[in-house]
């Protein structure tokens, strides 16, 4: 099942998009939001499925989708260097922050929750704040069951579903603060998420997903999740060691090669650019880069 957040009359309601992507069932407000469903688990998911069977159906193009999650427990949890081709393409371009060799364990960082925008919202852009705005197409995991020190064997049991994300980054800010990535990853209104949550039971093989990113119609990233350096189970297991993951947490799983900073010549986002991020089976984000005063 797909669970979307629909903006209507100043509030958010649950929508269930059809498999063909043409229509969406709009559920009663009393069922809450996707945040509520993720935290409530199987009973809430069953209630959504039952309600969707009788709910009024609207053309998907006629509703406004918000980010599927907006009530976060903590920062977005993110993974760096999780595709070796991306790790290698950036070698020598990290401005003195290159590791000596490939990491033997996942690299984690966080992003402020204020970064999150909807699947079709504008990406905030301020050239006075940064000169190097970069795109990063990713698969996002939504945690659906609390757990600490989760084993790799049971890790996927804690996954509620998957989304598409774009970890838009400011490379100069990312390098400017002692090697810590938080600042260059946490600028407000810069991370599209959505277009909905696809529940885990709908994703038969999380390692058979194709990730793509286009900027103004040019395909700049194109890879498969089979190429990950550390599998999703490993990410969940390592993150949760001594640290409780909670329902509603979002984990970004890394971006493949093709980023703008590693290209020759480099390609950075600019005012007016259209960024399209898609993952097979999970949907597509379409976001315009729009100049916004942030500094």
Indicate the residue among 43, 66, 89 that finishes a domain.
66
Task: Tell whether 224 is covered by a domain.
Answer: yes
H helix runs in the chain, sequence order: 34-40, 42-54, 84-89, 171-175, 232-240
117 and 57 fall within a common domain: no
Q: Any idea what the CATH number is for the domain that residue 111 is in?
A: 3.90.850.10
Output the average pLDDT for the chain. 96
pLDDT tens digits along 202-240:
999 999 999 999 999 999 999 999 999 999 999 999 999
Task: Tell whether 193 is covered by a domain.
Answer: yes
Burial of 117 per CB tally in 10 Å (0-12, 13-18, 19+) = buried
Closest-CA residue to 67 (of 133, 142, 126): 142
Task: Tell whether 71 is covered by a domain.
Answer: no
Q: How far apart are CA 232 and CA 156, in angstroms?
A: 8
pLDDT of 101 reads 79
What is the average pLDDT across 196-203? Answer: 98
246 and 222 fall within a common domain: yes
Q: Which two tokens stand for residue 140?
A: 């996002």
Q: How far apart are CA 42 and CA 55, in angstroms?
A: 20
Task: Tell whether 99 is covered by a domain.
Answer: yes
Structurally, the chain folds into a number of domains equal to 2
202 and 59 fall within a common domain: no
Q: How far apart are CA 26 and CA 39, in angstroms?
A: 20
Task: Tell whether 276 is covered by a domain.
Answer: yes
117 and 188 fall within a common domain: yes
Q: How confident is the model at residue 92 (pLDDT cuts 50, 70, 90)?
A: low
Share of the chain above pLDDT 70, in %: 98
Q: How far apart are CA 155 and CA 142, in angstroms?
A: 12
Task: Tell whether 20 is covered by a domain.
Answer: yes
pLDDT tens digits along 104-146:
999 999 999 999 999 999 999 999 999 999 999 999 999 999 9
Closest-CA residue to 68 (of 146, 156, 145, 1): 1
Whether residue 94 has pLDDT greater than 70: no
Helix (H) or strand (E) holding 55: none
220 and 255 fall within a common domain: yes
112 and 240 fall within a common domain: yes
Indicate the residue among 47, 66, 85 that finishes a domain.
66
Distance of CA 7 to the CA centre of its chain: 19
pLDDT of 95 reads 63
Share of the chain above pLDDT 90, in %: 90
130 and 176 fall within a common domain: yes
143 and 287 fall within a common domain: yes
Q: How confident is the model at residue 10 (pLDDT cuts 50, 70, 90)?
A: confident
Q: Which residue has the tokens 């490993």?
A: 234
170 and 48 fall within a common domain: no
Whether residue 178 has pLDDT greater than 90: no
pLDDT tens digits along 246-291:
999 999 999 999 999 999 999 999 999 999 999 999 999 999 999 9
Q: How far apart are CA 137 and CA 2, in angstroms?
A: 20
**What is the total residue count of the chain?**
295
Indicate the residue among 16, 38, 66 that finishes a domain.
66
Whether residue 89 has pLDDT greater than 70: yes
Q: How far is CA 125 from CA 17, 18, 95, 117, 221, in A?
A: 30, 33, 23, 13, 21
Q: Where are the beta strands (DSSP E) in the chain?
A: 2-8, 11-17, 23-26, 57-59, 64-66, 76-80, 107-111, 116-117, 123-125, 133-134, 137-143, 159-166, 169-170, 191-199, 210-215, 218-224, 250-252, 274-279, 283-291
Q: How far apart are CA 18 and CA 166, in angstroms?
A: 24
Whether residue 93 has pLDDT greater than 70: no
pLDDT of 36 reads 98
Q: How far apart are CA 98 and CA 92, in angstroms?
A: 7
pLDDT tens digits along 47-61:
999 999 999 999 999
What is the average pLDDT across 157-178? Answer: 95
Cβ distance 37 to 46 under 8 Å? no
23 and 51 fall within a common domain: yes
80 and 48 fall within a common domain: no
What is the average pLDDT across 188-198? Answer: 98
Q: How confident is the model at residue 99 (pLDDT cuts 50, 70, 90)?
A: confident
Of 225 and 101, which is predicted with more confidence? 225
What range defines the domain where residue 60 resides? 2-66
62 and 181 fall within a common domain: no
Q: How confident is the model at residue 7 (pLDDT cuts 50, 70, 90)?
A: very high
Task: Tell whether 89 is covered by a domain.
Answer: yes
């Amino acid at each position: 099942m797909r669970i979307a957040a629909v903006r209507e009359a100043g509030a958010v309601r649950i929508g269930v998009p059809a498999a063909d992507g043409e229509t969406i069932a709009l559920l009663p407000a009393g069922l809450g939001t996707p945040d509520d469903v993720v935290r409530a688990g199987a009973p809430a998911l069953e209630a959504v499925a039952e309600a969707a069977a009788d709910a009024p159906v609207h053309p998907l193009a006629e509703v406004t989708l918000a980010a599927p999650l907006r009530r976060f427990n903590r920062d977005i949890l993110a993974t760096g260097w999780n595709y070796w081709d991306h790790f290698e393409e950036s070698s020598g371009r990290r401005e003195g922050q290159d590791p000596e060799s490939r990491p033997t364990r996942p690299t984690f960082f966080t992003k402020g929750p204020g970064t999150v925008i909807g699947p079709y919202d504008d990406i905030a852009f301020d050239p006075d704040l940064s000169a190097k705005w970069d795109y990063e197409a990713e698969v996002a995991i939504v945690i659906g069951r609390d757990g600490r020190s989760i084993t790799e064997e049971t890790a996927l049991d804690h996954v509620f579903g998957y989304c598409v994300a774009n970890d838009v980054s400011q490379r100069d800010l990312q390098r400017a603060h002692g090697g810590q990535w938080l600042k260059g990853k946490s600028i407000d209104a810069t991370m599209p998420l959505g277009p909905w949550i696809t529940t885990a039971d709908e994703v038969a093989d999380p390692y058979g997903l194709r990730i793509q990113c286009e900027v103004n119609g040019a395909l700049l990233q194109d890879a498969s999740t089979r190429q990950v350096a550390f599998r999703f189970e490993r990410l969940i297991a390592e993150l949760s060691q001594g640290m409780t993951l909670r329902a509603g947490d979002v984990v970004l799983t890394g971006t493949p090669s093709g980023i703008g900073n590693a290209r020759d010549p480099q390609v950075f986002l600019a005012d007016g650019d259209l960024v399209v991020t898609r993952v097979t089976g999970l949907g597509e984000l379409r976001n315009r880069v729009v100049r916004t005063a942030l500094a």
